[in-house]
Amino acid sequence: MVLLEKLSAYVEQFHGGTVEFGSFDGKTLRVHLGGACLNCPLLPSTLHGWVAGTVHQFFPGIEVVEEK
C-alpha cells in the first residue's frame, strides 16, 4: 500500500518509527508500528491520529485501523 509507505517514510524521518502493512480484510486494516514507536507511550496517538486519520481521509471505506 503506497500510502503506508509514505506514512512510514514521514514517521521514520521525523520520529524514527516505521509503519508496515499487516493485513486487510475489506474493513479492518492491520499495521505494525516499529522502530522508535515500539514501547513509546505515544504509540496510540501515532496510530489513531496520524496513521488512521490519514488512511480514513483517503480510504473512507476502511472502518478500522489497528496495530497487529
Query: Which residue has 522502530 as its cell numbers?
Result: 35
Angstrom distance (rounded) from CA 24 to CA 39:
24
Res. 20: pLDDT tops 80 = yes
Domain made up of 2-67: CATH architecture: 2-Layer Sandwich (3.30)
Q: What average pLDDT does this structure show over 8-35?
A: 94
Q: What is the model's pLDDT at position 44?
A: 94
Mean of all residue pLDDT scores within the chain: 93
What pLDDT, on a 0 to 100 scale, did the predictor assign at position 14?
87
pLDDT in tens, 40-53: 999 999 999 989 99
- The pLDDT, as a whole number, for residue 15 is 87
> Is 80 exceeded by the pLDDT of residue 1?
no
